[in-house]
Structure 1
Amino acid sequence: MKINHEINRLLNFALQNGLIEAEDVVYSANLLLDLLKLEEFVPERIEEETADVSPILSEILSYAAAHNIIEDTTAQKDLFDTRIMNCAMMRPSDVISRFKKCYSESPQAATQFFYKLSIASNYIRRARIKKNIIWKTGTQYGDLDITINLSKPEKDPRDIIKAKTMKQQTYPKCLLCRENEGFAGNISHPARQTHRLIPLDLSGHQWFLQYSPYTYYNEHCIVLNKEHIPMKIARSTFVNLLDFVSKFPHYFIGSNADLPIVGGSILSHDHYQGGCYDFAMAKASVEKYYTISKFPQVAVGRVKWPMSTIRLSGESKNDLVELSTVILEKWKKYSDASVDILAYTNNIPHNTITPIARKKNDKYEMDLVLRNNRTTKDYPLGIFHPHKEVYHIKKENIGLIEVMGLAVLPARLKNELAKLKMALLEGKNDISNDKAIEKHAPWYKEIKAKYSNINENDINGILNDEVGKVFLQVLLYAGVYKRDEKGMAAFDQFISTI
């Protein structure tokens, strides 16, 4: 009787949240009975309002594990709860029809519908995302967003063993491929039965809009190419970005760079990321304007930002596309050895751009962040990459999200910061003999010397601020032109070549 009640609760939830219509209830119930190997079902009147399906799924998963329908591991539960939700969710064509209907009201209405659907269906696992630790750190460049990423669960050893025995997967080719929609998944590939895509036409080519399952900010969306082709920053990139913000003026959109080290985690599939959020970078002011004679209608400025950013603003999309293309082509070939910028070594290209587009005050804006991925013996992971002094906080690539001012920090920091907190409160002078946190020893000494009296009331604020300041240093390291007199003069010198 308990599983009967939970099925009724799930159907009630699906109705309340617009995943199904009343005419779909019997159909959805029968799909669930088949999935859970049940032969009987009694409809119940459920007097419950809930916006979170996680507690209901938890009960159904417990039943499935207890009755040997699934193995009791995190991966198996994730695969199965996605199958469960797909039994009580509208088909892709219905989602597209609803999206188009909402879009006829406004772009905001369309994305709001789609985002709420993605949360209600548990495609966006909000219960896990809520585990992330987030705060803001004030700096001279604005309030940086800091996130310790706890939303991805640790893998069960049993699942790891299974994954090793699986043959290499060739379909879908990657996590961003259009073919993920409805894919059942396996131990090494997440289930995607609840995944839905909205087709988009960007400059005459087919793309798709989806939301990120692990949202780092409000309405964190992904726009992916129908074709599985590598990332490439080119004129077409600028056309597509500005076309997108024309269709969705309440969203920003940007692209990771197209080279290793300075690019994102998936360079094999052309895609962009966007959403409805104002990052510190978007709020940053222009500290110096330039005049580009061939583009008199475009405001061109150097942004007051840790990473080297040129901001273009104007009413004409075409002007911004053309000037962005000129800057990209100039930058790809530009070298200035005095500040360690070399466009090529042994015919290997190093210069590229991370572009971000938005609409502001009825004008188009394009931020062009200059990137260089050159490595040396002293900097094997990249000259313009986090340096060793900050590895204890952040060692990974600086992609689009970090570029805009949101740190995505590793889960290990939760426990490490807790231990650092205790050490500071106990007044320890040295932590280098503690293997769990010895990597933080130099930083720990700096904090201890900086604050004469650390107590329970201010310790959390102190550690949060100091982590945020380390992330600021990460961004400064990633900037190709340093924020000093020499660096800014070199930046101006590049602008003069345009």
Structure 2
Amino acid sequence: MTKQTLIGQFVHEVIKNTSYTEMDKFYLYNRVLNILDGQDKVAKSENVGSLIEIVNGLLLPFKGKSSNEIECLRTELMNFLVPIPSEMNRKFWEKYQHNVDDALIYLYKISQKSNYIKVEDNKKNEYFKYDSKYGDLEITINLAKPEKDPKDIAKLKSIVTDNAYPECQLCFENEGYEGRIDFPAKTNHRIIRFNLMDETWGLQYSPYAYFNEHCIFVDSVHQPMKINQETFRRLLAIINTFPVYFAGSNADLPIVGGSILNHEHFQGGRHTFAMAKAKAEFNFHFSGFADVDAKILHWPMSVIRIQGENQARLVQLATKILDKWKQYSDIDVDVVCKSDGQEHHTITPIARKNGDNYELDLVLRDNQTSRQYPDGIFHPHPDVQNIKKENIGLIEVMGLAILPPRLKKELADIRQYLLKNTKVIAQKHQNWVQNLESHYDKITSENVNGIIQNEVGKTFERVLEDAGVFKKNSQGIAAFKKFIEFVGISEG
């Protein structure tokens, strides 16, 4: 074996980036050779490319396989870059004792190096900002996560399985799992265990990150999400352990909740969203909580921010607000807490540390549907669903749009239509484009991209306003104050 073979180059990189030594090179070579069914290739150059380039070269002979099968091989190879779970945890907490940032950066860099965080794929996402009346909204078209491979879909049709292991993609059992045709490979996946209020939880990074150091805090027990008093306690305890991150939860009801409701988890990371910088529309104190500052935010969704130094008091007040919201109705603004035995009200909570103060943002959510709005009364309305029709989850609540990959081609078609290079666009976009054209006197090749981005941003602003329970008009603001009074506010 020499460094001039692709496996030799890969082994060289593994030894350089891990605790393996030269003594291990034949062992490593043979383990990799086995994964690749005995196939090695002479390197085109003695100059070693990037690790991901070497791995891509190793996988070229398997290009006839499905994308899922190739990804299983990729994660098997990248697993050599990652310490075993016990060693990973030992090193993380050893670094944590010195500095929390040292520990997080260690985990983050290994997750990137081993391609658990899909660095190259994430670069495919399109990103821009929109200067809204609420602050700079962030827009991303999610192109990183691959579409299902037709070869995998065809195989799934012929496979009958009742395989329920792991139970879901957040379970601890994913750590090191090889993957299968209907489940992603997690061989290079590692979870940092930590104690959260005498429970075992895990910290991991999101493979398809939407923002800087996008991480997930995962319960070791597979149980449904639930927003309650324990949620607020856990979120504040998490930011005690990882004070450089925010921590938040999707809501726990369909329509207003996230994509995974069957496993308790939170999201976090090192990113300042527009909502975190939102100004107060008015400040007040709740009755009995003079030590906790409260405000309604100037934000398209209905947000109460509470701040204070005493965590227990914040939890107590947040729980009271949640309990009151669950029993509150105001027919004049279509707010109904329960119908046909189904609860409609919950909260999307976000916790962060701000100096000596703890902050909890409590976003009021209502998942009712109606004949006029069958997808949700407080959900993107039909006239904006050409841009966004999916649920408005935690990340979007805070001001970062995650738009579907279909929009890349559709917006390119709209660009050609606006430049008069084609007369055809998708039916669902026609009203949106006609409205766009009426607002601009002259559309040219120089300004068309900026115009489209501006209109997408404006539409996302409307999407968030649709999802807001109390609207940003005189009736909505009065109704929001009415709810605050229902919870109980201090006089003067």
Same structural fold, with TM-score higher than 0.5 when normalized by the shorter chain: yes
Cα 1:64/1:418, change in 2 over 3 Å: closer
State the Cα distance separating 1:426 from its structure 2 match: 1.8
- Paired position in structure 2 for 1:78: 71
Question: Does 2:367 match 1:369?
Answer: no
* Partner in structure 1 of residue 86 of structure 2: 93
CA deviations 1:80-103 (Å, max 9, x no partner) are: 111111234321111111111211
Q: Which of 125, 128, 132 lines up with 1:132 in the alignment?
A: 125
Q: Which amino acid aligns with 2:30?
A: N
CA displacement 1:36-60 (0-9 Å, x = unmatched):
23399999x976474xx32111100
Residues 8 and 46 of structure 1 are in contact (CA less than 8 Å); yes or no, is this contact kept in structure 2? no
Within 5 Å, give how 1:55-66 maps onto structure 2.
55-65=53-63
- The equivalent residue for 2:36 is 36
> Aligned-pair RMSD on alpha carbons?
2.2
Give the drift of 1:72.
Answer: 2.4
Q: For 1:205-216, what aligned pairs fall within 5 Å after superposition?
A: 205-216=199-210
- In 1, the alpha carbon distance for the partners of 2:393 and 2:82 equals 34
Which amino acid letter does the alignment assign opposite residue 137 of structure 1?
A: Y
Deviates more, 1:306-315 or 1:26-35: 26-35
Amino acid of the structure 2 residue aligned with 1:294: G
Aligned residue runs from structure 1 range 227-306, under 5 A: 227-306=221-300
Assess, with a 3 A threshold, how the Cα gap between structure 1 residues 237 and 120 changes in structure 2: closer, same or farther.
Answer: same
Between the two proteins, what is the percent identity of the paired residues? 46
Are 2:483 and 1:494 aligned?
A: yes
- 1:164 is aligned with what amino acid? K
Letter in 2 for 1:452: D
Letter in 2 for 1:476: E
In the alignment, is the contact (CA less than 8 A) between 2:66 and 2:152 conserved in 1?
yes
- What is the alpha-carbon distance in structure 2 between the residues aligned to residue 304 and residue 41 of structure 1? 60
Instruction: Using the TM superposition, give the Cα deviation of residue 474 of structure 1 relative to its aligned residue in structure 2, in angstroms.
Output: 0.4
Q: Give 1:458's aligned residue.
A: 447
Tell me, yes or no, if structure 1 residue 437 matches structure 2 residue 420. Answer: no
Change (3 A) 1:47 1:410: same
Q: Which residue type is aligned with residue 210 of structure 2? A: Y
Which residue is 1:472 aligned to? 461
- Is 1:483 matched up with 2:483? no
Counterparts of residues 419-430 of structure 1 (less than 5 Å): 419-426=413-420
Q: CA deviation at 1:176?
A: 0.7
Letter in 2 for 1:124: I
CA deviation after TM superposition for structure 1 residue 63, in Å = 2.9
- Say which SS state the counterpart of residue 63 (structure 1) adopts: helix
Aligned residues: 486
Instruction: Please list, as runs of the form range in 1=range in 2, the aligned pairs for 1:104-119 lying within 5 A after superposition.
Output: 104-119=97-112
The Cα of 1:30 is off from its aligned counterpart by 2.7
Tell me whether 1:195 sits opposite 2:184 in the alignment.
no
Instruction: Compute the TM-score of the two structures, normalised by the length of structure 2.
Output: 0.94
Closer, same or farther: CA 244–298 of 1 in aligned 2, 3 Å: same
Please report the TM-score for the alignment, with normalisation by the length of structure 1: 0.93
Change (3 A) 1:90 1:455: same
Say if 2:330 and 2:336, in contact at 8 Å, map to a contact too.
yes
Structure 2 counterpart of 1:68: none
Report the alpha carbon displacement of residue 169 of structure 1 after superposing the two structures with TM. Answer: 2.5
| CA deviation vs aligned residue, 1:222-269 (integer Å, no higher than 9, x gap) | 111111100000100000000000111110010000000000001000
Q: Is 1:19–1:117's contact at 8 Å kept on the other side of the alignment?
A: no
Give me the whole-angstrom Cα distance separating, in 1, the residues matched to 2:448 and 2:416: 9
Distance 1:4 1:172, change over 3 A: farther
Aligned-partner residue type, residue 296 of structure 1: A
Quick one: structure 1 residues 478 and 102, their matched pair in 2 at CA, closer, same or farther if it must change by over 3 Å?
Answer: same
Q: What code does the residue aligned with 1:104 have?
A: Q
- Whether the 8 Å CA contact 2:296–2:304 is kept in 1: the answer is yes
Q: Which whole-Å deviations, capped at 9, do the CAs of 1:9-56 have from their partners, x for residues lacking one?
A: 22333344447566654443331122123399999x976474xx3211
SS state of the match for residue 369, structure 1?
strand
- Tell me the distance in 2 between the aligned counterparts of 1:353 and 1:373: 11
CA drift at 1:204: 1.3
